[in-house]
Amino acid sequence: MSILEVKNLEKSFDKLQVLKDISLSADNGEIISIIGSSGSGKSTLLRCLNRLETVDSGEIIVDGDTMVSTVNGKSIYAGEDILKKIRMKTGLVFQNFNLFPHYDVLRNITEAPVFAAGIPKDEAEKTAYGLLEQLGLKDKAKAYPYQLSGGQSQRVSIARALALKPKILFFDEPTSALDPELTGEVLKVIRSLTSLNMTMIIVTHEMDFAREISDRMIFMDQGVIVEDTTPADLFNSDNERTKAFLGKFHES
C-alpha cells in the first residue's frame, strides 16, 4: 500500500518554476533515494512534502490523508487537524542539523513529543534515552548542540526525528556538511534504520550508499523527474541526462 502519493506537483518561486509535474509514490517500508544536480529542486520537493513550502498545484496524500489537492488549478490544503495528523507521521532530517541551540540534547529530542504530540514527559524521556543508546549517544543527553561534533549533531537530529515514530522519514543531504569519517558514522546509522520497516526518502550525493540501500532511485534534473527506477537500472541508464549526471559524479 502506498504511504505517500504525490501527483502532478508544480511549484514556482516568482518566475522560476522549480518543480514541474512531479509525481511519485512510496510504498510502506520502501527506501527511495533522490539524486540530481544542485538547483534541480530536490530540497524544494522535500520541503513541499513536509509543508515547509506550499505547492502551487498538485496533490499530496500521506497514509490515506490528503494534505493538498487541486481544484480548478488552485491548491487547497487540508484543515489543521489533518495537517497535524500528517505532521506526526513524518520526520525530516536536514543537512545542517537544525537543532535548537538553547536546549540540551534530551530536550531537543523530547520537545516535539511533549509539546506537539502531548506525550507525558517521563515517557518521552524514556524513549529519548532509548534512541540515544541506539545511536551511540548515551552520554550526550545533557550536552548542548555547540558541544557536539557534526556527526553527533546529525545523530541527535535523527534521534529527534525518530522520537515521533514517523512512518516516513525524509533526509535532505544528511551527510553533506560532514567530513568523510563522520559521514561514514551517520551513513551507518541510516543504514541501521533500514531494518525498521519505515519508509525513507533520502536526498543524497553519496552514490555508493544510495545504490546499496535503495529500493528505488529518483533522478531529478531542472525540476522534473527524469528517472524513477531500481538502482541497477539507473546506473545502466541510456538516458543522456542521467549518464551526464552520473559521469560528472565519477570525475569529481
Ligand X SMILES: Nc1ncnc2c1ncn2[C@@H]1O[C@H](COP(=O)(O)OP(=O)(O)OP(=O)(O)O)[C@@H](O)[C@H]1O
According to DSSP, the residues that pair with 161 across neighbouring strands are none
By the rule CB under 6 A, 38 interacts with ligand X? yes
Minimum CB separation of residue 212 from ligand X in Å reads 21
The listed partner (Mg ion, ligand X, none) that binds 146, CB under 5 to 8 Å by sort, is none
Taking the complex as a whole, the smallest distance from the CB of residue 41 to ligand X amounts, in Å, to 4
Q: Should residue 43 be labelled a site residue for ligand X when binding is judged by CB under 6 A? A: yes
The stretch among 36-44, 59-67, 100-108, 209-217 that binds Mg ion (CB under 5 A) is 36-44
Least spacing, CB of residue 169 vs Mg ion, in Å: 17
Q: Which does 36 bind (CB under 5 to 8 A by kind): ligand X, Mg ion, none?
A: ligand X
For residue 157, the minimal CB distance to ligand X (Å) is: 17
Among 36, 38, 161, smallest CA distance to 94 is for 161
Q: From the list 43, 90, 108, 153, which residue makes contact with Mg ion (rule: CB under 5 A)?
A: 43
Which of 27, 39, 100, 133 touches ligand X by CB under 6 A? 39
- Using the minimum distance from each CB to ligand X, give the nearer residue, 44 or 237: 44
Give yes or no for residue 36 binding ligand X (CB under 6 A).
Answer: yes
Of 12-20, 75-83, 112-120, 141-149, which segment contacts ligand X by CB under 6 A?
12-20
Should residue 127 be labelled a site residue for ligand X when binding is judged by CB under 6 A?
A: no
- CA 242, distance to chain mean position in Å, is 22
What's the min distance (Å) between Cβ of 171 and ligand X?
Answer: 12
Question: What would the grid cell of residue 64 be?
Answer: 490515506
252 binds, among Mg ion, ligand X, none (CB under 5 to 8 A by kind): none
* Contact call for residues 108 and 142 (beta carbons, < 8 A): no
Q: Should residue 41 be labelled a site residue for ligand X when binding is judged by CB under 6 A? A: yes
**What is the three-state SS of the chain?**
CEEEEEEEEEEEECCEEEEEEEEEEEECCCEEEEEECCCCCHHHHHHHHCCCCCCCEEEEEECCEEEEEEECCEEEECCHHHHHHHHCCEEEECCCCCCCCCCCHHHHHHHHHHHHCCCCHHHHHHHHHHHHHHCCCHHHCCCCHHHCCHHHHHHHHHHHHHCCCCCEEEEECCCCCCCHHHHHHHHHHHHHHHHHCCEEEEECCCHHHHHHHCCEEEEEECCEEEEEECHHHHHCCCCHHHHHHHHHHHHC
Between residues 39 and 120, which has the closer beta carbon with respect to ligand X?
Answer: 39
Residue 60's CB: how many other CB atoms inside 10 A?
A: 23
Shortest reach from residue 212's CB to Mg ion, in Å = 22
Q: Using CB under 5 A as the criterion, which residues of the chain lie in contact with Mg ion when the complex forms? A: 43
Interface positions with ligand X (CB under 6 A): 13, 16, 18, 36, 38-44
